[in-house]
Amino acid sequence: MTLSPQEQALVQAARAARAHAYAPYSNYSVGAAVLTSDGRIFTGCNVENASYGLTVCAERVAVFSAVAAGAREVVTVAVCTPDGATPCGACRQVLAEFVPDLSACPVLVVKPDAFVARYTLAELLPHHFGR
């Protein structure tokens, strides 16, 4: 799969963010990066907590960082996991809140050393709850 230079930068940002994950309980480090409609990249990593329900996924950290900086539209997502897993359901729903066209938003799934797959958010969340 050939990635555009912008997608390559997003994947690299997700891989770099994974290095900052705080995952002492699961040992499952995740990094994510989102590209916003104004061309900015925001990253996130998973942050675990001894009270497991308080753990926050990398994708949501990236989206919340974008929103905190004033961005409201996500156009591309990259996620880096040890085994090439896709975003969880909660992250898919949070992404849907800030993606104007789910069928046009690529979700790039990678491992630390390999590209895994490209999906659209619509493929990953075909029946989202929304406005």
Q: What is the pLDDT of residues 41-66, one digit of tens each?
A: 999 999 999 999 999 999 999 999 99
pLDDT higher than 80, residue 1: no
CA atoms within a 13 Å half-sphere pointing along the CA-CB vector of 52: 2
Helix boundaries (H) for 24-98: 58-68, 89-98
Q: Where are the domains of the chain?
A: 5-124
Q: 86 — phi, psi (to 5°)?
A: -85, 165
Cα–Cα distance between 51 and 101 in angstroms, integer? 35
pTM over 0.85, yes/no: yes
Decide the pairing of beta strands 31-36 and 41-45: antiparallel
The residue annotated as part of the active site, out of 48, 59, 97, 123, is 59
Query: Active-site residue 59, yes or no?
Result: yes
Q: Considering the domain 5-124 in this protein, what is its CATH number?
A: 3.40.140.10
The pLDDT, as a whole number, for residue 131 is 65
Q: Do the Cβ atoms of 55 and 49 come closer than 8 Å?
A: yes
Tokens 């926050």, located at residue? 56
Tokens 């690299």, located at residue? 12
With a CB cutoff of 8 Å and minimum separation 6, the contacts of 29 are 18, 19, 21, 23, 45, 46, 82
Q: What is the pLDDT of residues 89-130, one digit of tens each?
A: 999 999 999 999 999 999 999 999 999 999 999 999 998 887
Cα–Cα distance between 10 and 33 in angstroms, integer? 6
Q: Do the Cβ atoms of 88 and 26 come closer than 8 Å?
A: no
